[in-house]
């Protein structure tokens, strides 16, 4: 009976109808997914289409079983005599339909995987003609909150006026249908004599909120006015005279009045923690000192935060501020990860214990899970929660991009960098991050245009000079790059980054004395800081100083266990300790399998494992894994891994040599292939003249005349850079 039923299903074309339906539904869902953002449709449209497609499937099968399409129209299957049935003919038509739909689906799949993933949608990226300004027409209401002027008789309450404005900005950011410009850009117009209409155009907003405060004793007067950018007319204005202890109530009243005037709704279900006014003032002072990632300012902020906690020990926002400050102190302040990250975690957790809706603390927890625990999924969860709570907090998007970068999701990194610029169009810091993201995506013309836009905002901006030096560094223009990094070093005295870069570059050019000088400069900014470790690691590899590399790996564990394990694996290989090398490489490769650790973090361990397992059947697996990483880089025309001392061509040359059991097996064909790859590596800015002497894959080839010629070519190119430097001095 079951066989008879199955045969009847086939006769009535139920299977074919089901197949056609599923393929068509898939195509519709994919097209909808693309159309929704392009047409600015609400996100629920995707869910609705998927829901309709899902519930329609059983109905399609039901109708295929009950009805048949005939020349006379749709009829019940039970009313059709066997000799009248045309189900076989209908089945052939369904075959054609299924084949056509499969071809369409396959074409879409190829487009999506090969082309769409290798480009950035125009809706997600600013155009190359204007990489600093958002579109002039907003599809939703938008507002900028300017700093409130200090009208107090003593004139010492500027920080308080700024704090009031930022509080309002954060509250308004929770309003659906309202885009709020970020603080950095809004506050660019502080004390500036600029027309409101011009400010609105610069910030790409339709409304401006401005105001003033007058503080006297325990009384405060807050005046606020909402202005329409198009004509400069006031939409709403109000003055509030209150006791200072009611300042939070005033903020809520102003926010409600604004959204009411805009005919929007504001959710104030999450009440601001009621705290002592003095503690609040200290918190505002601390916030003021965190505006720039400068070591001295960040330390001053921590001092104010600590004073606030002495008054209000359970002040959740202060703990969130401390966590965020320590993130920047590790990156820009020269503190080691071993010191900084535990502080980030401790204070972020404390903040969330007191208030689980602290966006800044959630952001910091994202960094904790990304950098301490290497759990990128948890990191994304925390950061997305932070964005939901405070979509105007531009710093969150910057850290989200860092997490995505660790996952090799460079297109999505670019989207987040772009969102930050859209929110904060006058911030040179976020513009500089956009330049870096464009470079990572091999969009070099766009990167240079974005850099020009940044310098239009500030020709002497240190972040801009850092990115310019990075671009020149990746191009192999070491002399000009060094010039740029020196400029950055003088502009940011607390930042160890530029000194570390300079130390590595001078060693690359053979100037050990200057390299040592810059190592000392980097160390002065903080022992075992991130950039010092990167520099001394590069130098250890240039010198084949395996013990120094191992020591650095042990220090790197606090910041990134995977990179630390890769460094340690190579150090152990160099020291001849294969057992420990295997343990380190196995750790990274197992993390890759379990958690899809980013290839950029894993490829060195794939390469190391291939060398370690050389001449075994298992070696081929790791050869292929490493090769896939390099070929993927070449597909995107971006062979570099962020430094001229290593790129995909050089990695492929190493793998090619690794297929040989010994140098004696070298054939002219293999040698020519290796030489071609090495020269392509040089053309792509590879300039490490020490590789033949010290790289583990080239052991046994140090006296090969053809490889020596490659080294001589690198030295000649480096000599040109040395001559350029001499002329600059």
> In this structure, which topology does domain 141-272 adopt according to CATH?
Rossmann fold (3.40.50)
Sole residue written with tokens 């160099």: 574
Cα(285)–Cα(283) distance, integer angstroms: 5
- The angle subtended at Cα 445 by Cα 443 and Cα 446, nearest 5°, is 65
Domain chopping of the chain, boundaries: 2-118, 141-272, 544-623, 639-729
The band of 561, judged by pLDDT with boundaries at 50, 70 and 90, is confident
What is the model's pLDDT at position 437? 93
Spatial contact of 532 and 521, defined as CB atoms under 8 Å apart = no
DSSP state string for 89-107: HHHHHHHHHHHHHHHHHHH
- Average pLDDT for the chain: 82
Find tokens 């805009």 and name the residue.
262
Mean pLDDT of the region 332-338: 91
Mean pLDDT is lowest, of 61-75, 570-584, 675-689, for 61-75
Mean pLDDT on 548-575: 90
- Count helices and strands (H / E) in the chain: 32, 8
Q: Output the pLDDT for position 40.
A: 45
Q: Which two structure tokens, joined as six digits, stand for 576?
A: 């001849």
The pLDDT score that the predictor gives to residue 729 is: 72
Please tell me whether the overall predicted TM-score, pTM, comes out greater than 0.75 for this model: no
Do the beta carbons of residue 187 and residue 147 sit within 8 Å?
yes
CA–CA separation, 362 and 381 (whole Å): 9
Q: Which pLDDT value is given to residue 79?
A: 61
Q: Over the stretch 246-270, which tens digit does the pLDDT of each residue have?
A: 677 777 777 777 777 777 665 555 5
The string of pLDDT tens digits covering residues 426-483 is: 899 999 999 999 988 888 899 999 999 999 999 999 999 999 999 998 888 999 999 9
Q: Which residues pair with 237 in a beta bridge?
A: 225
* Distance between CA atoms of residues 276 and 671, nearest Å: 75
What confidence score (pLDDT) does residue 198 get? 85
The pLDDT score that the predictor gives to residue 434 is 96
Whether residue 529 has pLDDT greater than 70 = yes
84 pLDDT above the threshold of 60:
no
**Is residue 113's pLDDT more than 50?**
no
DSSP assignment string, 622-668: HHHHHHHHHHHHHHTT--BSSSTT-BHHHHHHHHHHHTSSSGGG--H
Q: Which residue has the higher pLDDT, 625 or 469?
A: 469
| Residue carrying structure tokens 């900028």 | 144
Percentage of the residues of the chain whose pLDDT score is greater than 90: 40
CA distances to 154, 211, 248, 276 from 243, in Å = 18, 18, 11, 13
Smallest CA-to-CA distance from 205 within 215, 196, 193 is with: 196
Residue 534 phi, psi (nearest 5): -60, -40
pLDDT tens figures, 10-43: 666 667 777 777 777 777 777 776 665 545 455 5
pLDDT tens readout for residues 658-710? 999 999 999 999 999 999 999 999 998 898 999 999 999 999 999 999 999 99
Distance CA 31, CA 23 (A): 12
202, containing H or E segment: helix 196-203
pLDDT value at residue 596: 45
Specify the long-range contacts of residues 601-604, CB closer than 8 Å, at least 24 apart: 601/406, 601/560, 601/562, 601/563, 601/566, 602/562, 602/629, 603/629, 603/630, 603/651, 604/566, 604/569, 604/570
Residue 215's φ and ψ, nearest 5 degrees, are -110, 130
Q: What span, in angstroms and rounded, lies between the C-alpha atoms of 29 and 580?
A: 50
Tell whether the model's pLDDT for residue 318 goes beyond 60.
yes
């Amino acid at each position: 009976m079951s066989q008879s039923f199955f045969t009847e299903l086939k006769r009535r074309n139920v299977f074919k109808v089901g197949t056609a339906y599923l393929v068509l539904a898939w195509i519709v869902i994919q097209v909808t997914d693309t159309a929704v953002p392009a047409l600015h449709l609400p996100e629920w449209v995707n869910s609705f289409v998927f829901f309709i497609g899902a519930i329609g499937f059983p109905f399609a099968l039901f109708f295929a079983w009950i009805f048949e399409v005939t020349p006379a129209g749709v009829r019940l299957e039970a009313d059709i005599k066997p000799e009248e049935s045309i189900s076989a003919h209908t089945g052939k038509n369904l075959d054609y339909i299924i084949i056509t739909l499969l071809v369409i689906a396959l074409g879409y799949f190829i487009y999506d995987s090969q082309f769409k993933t290798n480009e950035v949608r125009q809706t997600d990226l600013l155009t190359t003609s204007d990489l600093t300004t958002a579109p002039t027409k907003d599809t939703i209401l938008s507002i900028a909150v300017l700093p409130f002027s200090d009208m107090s008789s003593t004139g010492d309450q500027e920080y308080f006026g700024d704090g009031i404005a930022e509080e309002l900005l954060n509250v308004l950011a929770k309003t659906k249908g309202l885009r709020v410009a970020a603080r950095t850009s809004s506050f660019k117009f502080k004390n500036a004599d600029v027309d409101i209409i011009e400010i609105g155009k610069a910030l790409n907003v339709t409304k401006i909120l401005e105001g003033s405060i007058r503080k006297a004793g325990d009384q405060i007067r807050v005046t606020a006015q909402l202005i329409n950018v198009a004509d400069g007319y006031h939409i709403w204005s109000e003055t509030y005279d209150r006791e200072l202890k009611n300042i939070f109530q005033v903020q809520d009243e102003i926010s409600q009045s604004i959204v009411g005037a805009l005919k929007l709704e504001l959710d104030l279900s999450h009440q601001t923690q009621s705290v002592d006014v003095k503690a609040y003032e200290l918190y505002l002072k601390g916030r003021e000192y965190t505006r720039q990632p400068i070591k001295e300012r960040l330390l001053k902020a921590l001092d104010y935060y600590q004073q606030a906690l002495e008054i209000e020990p359970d002040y959740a926002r202060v703990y969130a501020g401390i966590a965020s400050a320590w993130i920047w102190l590790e990156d820009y302040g020269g503190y080691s990860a071993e010191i900084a990250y535990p502080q980030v975690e401790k204070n972020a957790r404390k903040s969330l214990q007191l208030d689980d809706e602290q966006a800044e603390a959630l952001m910091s927890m994202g960094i904790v899970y990304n950098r301490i625990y290497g759990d990128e999924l948890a990191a994304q969860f925390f950061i997305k929660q932070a964005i939901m709570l405070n979509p105007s907090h531009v710093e969150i998007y910057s850290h989200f991009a860092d997490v995505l970068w660790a996952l090799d999701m460079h297109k999505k990194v670019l989207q987040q960098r772009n969102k930050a610029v859209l929110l904060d169009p006058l911030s040179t810091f976020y513009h500089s991050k956009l330049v870096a993201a464009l470079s990572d995506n091999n969009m070099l013309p766009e990167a240079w245009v974005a850099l020009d836009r940044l310098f239009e905002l500030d020709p002497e901006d240190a972040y801009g000079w850092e990115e310019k030096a990075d671009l020149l560094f990746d191009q192999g223009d070491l002399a000009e790059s060094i010039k740029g990094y020196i400029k950055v070093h003088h502009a940011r005295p607390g930042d160890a980054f530029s000194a570390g870069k300079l130390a590595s570059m001078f060693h690359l050019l053979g100037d050990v004395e200057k390299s040592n000088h810059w190592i000392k400069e980097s160390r002065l900014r903080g022992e075992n800081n991130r950039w010092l470790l990167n520099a001394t690691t590069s130098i250890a590899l240039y010198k084949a100083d395996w013990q120094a590399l191992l020591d650095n790996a042990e220090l790197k564990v606090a910041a990134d266990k995977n990179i630390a394990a890769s460094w340690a694996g190579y150090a152990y290989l160099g020291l001849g300790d294969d057992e420990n090398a295997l343990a380190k490489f196995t750790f990274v490769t197992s993390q890759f399998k379990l958690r899809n650790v980013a290839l950029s973090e894993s490829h060195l361990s794939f390469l190391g494992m291939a060398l370690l397992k050389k001449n075994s059947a298992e070696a081929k697996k790791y050869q292929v894994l490493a090769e896939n990483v390099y070929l993927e880089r070449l597909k995107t025309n971006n062979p570099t891994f962020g430094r001229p001392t290593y790129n995909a061509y050089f990695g492929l040359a190493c793998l090619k040599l690794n297929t040989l059991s010994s140098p004696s097996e070298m054939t002219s064909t293999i040698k020519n292939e290796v030489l071609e790859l090495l020269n392509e590596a040089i053309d792509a800015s590879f300039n490490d003249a020490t590789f033949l002497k010290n790289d583990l894959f080239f052991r046994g080839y140090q006296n090969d005349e053809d490889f020596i010629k490659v080294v001589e070519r690198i030295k000649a190119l480096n000599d040109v850079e040395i001559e350029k430097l001499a002329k600059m001095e």
